[in-house]
């Protein structure tokens, strides 16, 4: 009993110690739960119940689980410690302007991270990036997922090393497969094995600047063609493709880098528009899906997985990153996806303005995420997950589900 009390206290301390949220496990309703920069949500009609999708379930991609894990997955599930398994869930960015492993050796010894994301400030030359990624891999007990955002256009982290970025998604036209394949060649040459692309959002709101021409089109069916081609190009070239930003960022006004974004439609609209590029991308075999920090005030069905979620659900403002409805009922359930769910950057102000990093890390994992991308404080996020396990918020079976999915992604790179 003393041990349970100790871990319960430790979890509360961790949930309140990090990030820029309120110094409490609960989010103050008066300050944080009123609709944020979103007048439409204030006068919204009653929250809609969940209708059936307008197409039959057999038309969706259906994942057929393996009868048993591969020897690689089975071996590492048995070998990894609890701490190493939790470390597999966290993909931080390297500290600002880190260009060599020597700059972060002490940090890497603190937590056995499962992967890293590279940004432009980590990139100087082809040889330098190769040395960096090789050095990172040498520090790890098993293969790392090393990712970046190489969409093309204005979101290009490494394109300048090869004479320039590929065009923006909206301008690619019929060449999406070739560009995907070329991006895969470039990334693998650098030691990067995961691309956080393609964008599967539909640019249905012309005023949406954060997505804009990062999307392949204004219409769902047209955008889907190039989502599929890009997935096939990347993955035929040996790089993991990631569909983003589920359940759809293309119709929002707000930029989730700076504030919570709102999708002001019911779930029926999702099946008619936003779901289509994601569904087609899953058919094409995309191995990962990224969540968006997007609130859906006209949609119900979320569970309060932690006490602080309750007022956010009641207000309609709960971000999809924390929603078991979106990640488990829809993405894993109806759409049948059993690949890796990775969050969008957890340091984005859509979350950190309202929640601590402990709340963010544990809430996203409980909702169904497998990889937590860029926690504001990776070490404290790790500690919150470890304390959450010991306090009984999740068990080894749940942890192994995510770790097994991550290991399946890593197996080709052993």
Element (H, E) at 177: helix 176-190
**For position 368, what pLDDT does the model report?**
98
Report the C-alpha gap between 165 and 242 in whole angstroms: 19
Pick from 154, 169, 230, 158: nearest CA to 191: 158
Q: How many CB atoms lie within 10 A of CB 28?
A: 12
CB within 8 Å of 1: residues ≥ 6 apart: none
b/e burial code for range 307-333 (CB count within 10 A of at least 16 → b): ebbbbbbebbbbbbbbbbbbbebbbbe
Report the C-alpha gap between 214 and 63 in whole angstroms: 28
For the segment 69-97, what is each residue's pLDDT rounded down to a tens digit?
899 999 999 999 999 999 999 999 999 99
For the segment 296-322, what is each residue's pLDDT rounded down to a tens digit?
999 999 999 999 999 999 999 999 999
- Average pLDDT over the chain reads 86
Catalytic residue among 149, 251, 324, 344: 344
Q: Is the pLDDT of residue 12 over 50?
A: no
Catalytic residue among 257, 329, 353, 400: 257
Q: Spell out the domains of the chain, with CATH numbers in brackets.
A: 2-413 (3.20.20.300)
Q: What is the percent of the chain with per-residue pLDDT over 70, rounded to a whole number?
A: 84
b/e burial code for range 384-396 (CB count within 10 A of at least 16 → b): bbbbbbbbebbee
Residue 344 is a catalytic residue: yes
Tell me the angle at which helices 357-367 and 378-390 cross, rounded to the nearest 10 degrees: 60
Give the residue-averaged pLDDT of 118-135: 97
Residue 390 is a catalytic residue: no
**For position 232, what pLDDT does the model report?**
98
**For position 68, what pLDDT does the model report?**
73
Reported as a pLDDT band with limits 50, 70 and 90, residue 1 is very low
Q: Is the pLDDT of residue 17 over 80?
A: no
Give the residue-averaged pLDDT of 355-382: 97
**For position 166, what pLDDT does the model report?**
84
Give the residue-averaged pLDDT of 326-353: 96
**For position 11, what pLDDT does the model report?**
52
For the segment 238-289, what is each residue's pLDDT rounded down to a tens digit?
999 999 999 999 998 777 887 888 999 999 999 999 999 999 999 999 999 9
Q: Is the pLDDT of residue 20 over 50?
A: no
Report the C-alpha gap between 319 and 254 in whole angstroms: 13
């Amino acid at each position: 009993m003393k041990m349970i009390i100790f871990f319960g206290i430790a979890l509360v301390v961790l949930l309140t110690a990090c990030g820029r949220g309120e110094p409490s496990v609960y989010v103050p309703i008066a300050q944080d739960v009123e609709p944020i920069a979103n007048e439409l949500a204030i006068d919204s009609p009653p929250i809609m119940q969940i209708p059936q999708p307008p197409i039959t379930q057999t038309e969706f991609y259906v994942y057929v689980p393996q009868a048993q894990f591969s020897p690689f997955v089975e071996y590492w599930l048995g070998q990894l410690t609890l701490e190493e398994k939790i470390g597999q869930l966290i993909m931080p960015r390297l500290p600002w302007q880190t260009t060599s492993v020597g700059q972060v050796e002490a940090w890497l010894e603190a937590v056995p991270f499962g992967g890293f994301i590279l940004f432009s400030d980590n990139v100087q030359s082809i040889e330098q990036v190769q040395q960096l990624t090789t050095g990172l891999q040498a520090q790890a007990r098993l293969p790392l997922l090393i990712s970046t955002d190489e969409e093309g256009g204005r979101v290009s982290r490494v394109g300048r090393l090869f004479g320039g970025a590929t065009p923006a998604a909206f301008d690619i036209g019929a060449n999406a497969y070739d560009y995907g394949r070329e991006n895969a060649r470039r990334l693998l040459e650098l030691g990067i094995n995961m691309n956080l692309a393609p964008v599967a959002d539909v640019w249905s709101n012309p005023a949406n600047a954060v997505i804009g021409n990062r999307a392949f089109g204004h219409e769902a069916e047209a955008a889907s063609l190039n989502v599929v081609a890009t997935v096939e190009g990347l993955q035929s070239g040996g790089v993991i493709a990631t569909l983003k930003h589920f359940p759809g960022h293309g119709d929002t006004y707000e930029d989730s880098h700076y504030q919570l974004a709102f999708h002001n439609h019911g779930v029926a609209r999702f099946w008619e528009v936003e779901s289509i590029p994601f569904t087609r991308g899953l058919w094409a075999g995309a191995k990962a899906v990224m969540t968006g920090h997007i609130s859906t005030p006209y949609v119900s069905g979320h569970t309060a997985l932690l006490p602080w979620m309750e007022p956010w659900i009641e207000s309609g403002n709960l971000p999809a990153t924390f929603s078991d409805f979106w990640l488990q009922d829809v993405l894993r359930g109806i759409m049948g996806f059993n690949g890796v769910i990775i969050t969008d950057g957890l340091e984005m102000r859509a979350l950190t303005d309202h929640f601590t990093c402990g709340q963010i890390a544990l809430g996203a994992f409980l909702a169904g995420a497998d990889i937590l991308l860029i926690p504001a404080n990776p070490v404290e996020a790790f500690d919150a997950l470890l304390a959450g396990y010991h306090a009984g918020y999740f068990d080894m079976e749940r942890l192994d589900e995510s770790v097994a999915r991550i290991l399946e992604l890593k197996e080709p790179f052993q």
